[in-house]
Structure 1
Amino acid sequence: MDTDDDVEVIFSDLCADVEIDGHFLTIEIYKTNLDPGWILEIVNEFGTSTVFDDPFIADGLAWQQFEKTVKEEGLAAFLSNKEKRRLFH
């Protein structure tokens, strides 16, 4: 039986730091050796983390979701309301 000590986090080669309109995001795509689903997490320049609820069956699909979200919602998708006011007002 696996214990917490046996959990290994596996990071995708698609993890990256990205700049959008002069603002920086860290894209983390990872899974554990105990679960095949890839997690998509975006951390903005303020340290706020956005984690997508449903895991992805492939790391490439997680990256595609990041790109789709940026295209549809822009940088604001990864900012809290307070951070949006700070940047855009």
Structure 2
Amino acid sequence: MIEDEPELIFSDYTQSVTIEGHSFDVEIYKTSIHPGWILSVENQFGTLTVSDNPPFFGDVLAWRAFEELVREEGIKAFYNKKEQRKLGL
């Protein structure tokens, strides 16, 4: 018997954002078999920053975590060291 892939459920908080002229795709989602929400941020180079351990109890908590990360670390949080050097961050 082949099991179906779990369905991805995207939050209404999923969106593209621009911060200091840098664009990011912010996805907040869960699967149909697990109640925890995952935060995933993709930068313009295609690099993903994923926060899923532990998963968030609600999508608004994942969004708040994104906002807090921006406040505390700035956009550097979403770039690796090589990308930061390339951008002069």
Q: 1:2 to 1:9 in 2, by over 3 A?
A: farther
Trace 1:6-85 onto structure 2 (pairs within 5 A).
6-52=5-51, 53-85=53-85
Q: 1:2 to 1:66 in 2, by over 3 A?
A: farther
Distance in 2 (alpha carbons) for counterparts of 1:83 and 1:6: 34
Superposed CA offset, 1:17-60 (max 9, x none): 00011110000000001000000000001100000132100000
**Letter aligned with residue 66 of structure 1:** F
Where does the alignment leave 5 or more consecutive residues of structure 1 unmatched?
Answer: none
Q: 1:2 to 1:28 in 2, by over 3 A?
A: farther
Q: Percent identity?
A: 51
**Letter aligned with residue 20 of structure 1:** I
**Letter aligned with residue 38 of structure 2:** I
Aligned residues: 88
Structure 1 residue runs of 4+, over 3 Å off? none
RMSD over equivalenced CA pairs, Å: 1.6
TM-score (norm 1): 0.93
Report the secondary structure of 2:68's partner residue. helix
**Letter aligned with residue 38 of structure 1:** W
Match of 2:86 in 1: 86
Where does the alignment leave 5 or more consecutive residues of structure 2 unmatched?
Answer: none
Report the secondary structure of 1:74's partner residue. helix
TM-score (norm 2): 0.93
